[in-house]
Amino acid sequence: MRIGLLNGGGDCPGLNAVTHGVVGAAASLGWEVLGFRDGYEGLLSPGDYKLLRVEKTEGILKLGGTILGTSNRGHFAGKVGEGGVRRIPAELMDDAFQTLRKLDVSALICVGGDGSLTTALQFFEDGFPVVGVPKTIDNDLEATAMTFGFDSAVQVVTDSLDRLHTTAESHSRVMVLEVMGRHAGWIALYGGIAGGASAILIPEVPFSYEKVAESILEREKFGFRSSLVVVAEGAAPVDGGIVVEDSGGAGEVRLGGIGDVVAKRLAELTGKETRCTRLGHVQRGGSPTCLDRVLGMRFGVKAVKLIEEKRFGRMVSYKQYHVGSVPIADAVKSLKRVDPEGEIVVAAKSVGVCFGD
């Protein structure tokens, strides 16, 4: 039997760990794995792929990025903004199916976030056997407690805040750190708590500049002359909208720039010297954490198991420390966002973290 594997959407640490798991599990069954380059684009005729062998993937588990490449801007983009879905044209689907049939691929494993899995769902609905693997540093996919790549991104944020603490203290400054996450605040929330931020601004909680400034000035009364503020790229004030760096044309908008806006307003309101650091794609790069290596490998093995059991149209899912599966449709129907009244937000507020509300 021959199966296909591709990565869609943005890159993240742990993709190679999934490839390692898929190839190893398939080899134990006597199957071959074709890895398609640059996501769904590799399915276009005549096909861009390579045969993945165990001896070539044994040492990749620890590597960042992806040996297959990926794409989030090609012909098969399945999302057009928050909640928007685009159907892939029939001629593109037919071209991809012809490539898969020509190569004798019996089933396809699609690794990606909500956009890539939306496309995978269309492949399944149009009759091709597909299994999905959740991947996003944003951790915003429904039906799974965690996606690989998230822990690695949070670790980058935490390390960055550790470094910003010392320079903030040296100059008695307010340091604003803008992080990724799109329309969900998971990276900002976890990274901000772990890194000791005094304020965390997330998309799920519209914030007031005045309240954030008040919390910074209140800290000074207790001898804290510096403060760290983490702001998610999709965060917005109560009287304004999200800041967009690029409208994206017909595709997803590119968020970014809210950190500079927050830094400027806080400087005006507090009178304190304020600086902004924007992490950007640093959060996607580098080697995966041990958690993401193990989780990615387990996801890859489970995906092969689902194919063996002929349970197509399903996505690998992680819940209560167990790797199982759910229908892909359950994972892409809506974004998983932070609950403003949830336990982790309440806990953060209990130790003095300001959310600007």
Positions marked active-site = 138
Tell which residue, 343, 340, 335, has the closest CA to residue 356: 340
Residue 137 tokens, joined: 């540093």
The secondary structure of residue 113, as a DSSP letter, is S
- Please give the Cα distance from 24 to 16 (Å, whole number): 12
Listed residue (109, 198, 194) closest to 151, CA to CA: 194
DSSP per residue, 280-345: GGGGT-SPPPHHHHHHHHHHHHHHHHHHHTT--SEEEEEETTEEEEEEHHHHHSSB----TTSHHH
Contacts for 159 with CB less than 8 Å, ≥ 6 apart: 195
Interior CA angle at 180 toward 178 and 186, to 5°?
105
Compute the distance between CA of residue 115 and CA of residue 113 in angstroms, rounded to an integer. Answer: 6
Tokens 């970014």 appear where?
256
Would you report the helix, strand and coil content of the chain in percent, each value rounded to 5?
A: 40, 20, 40
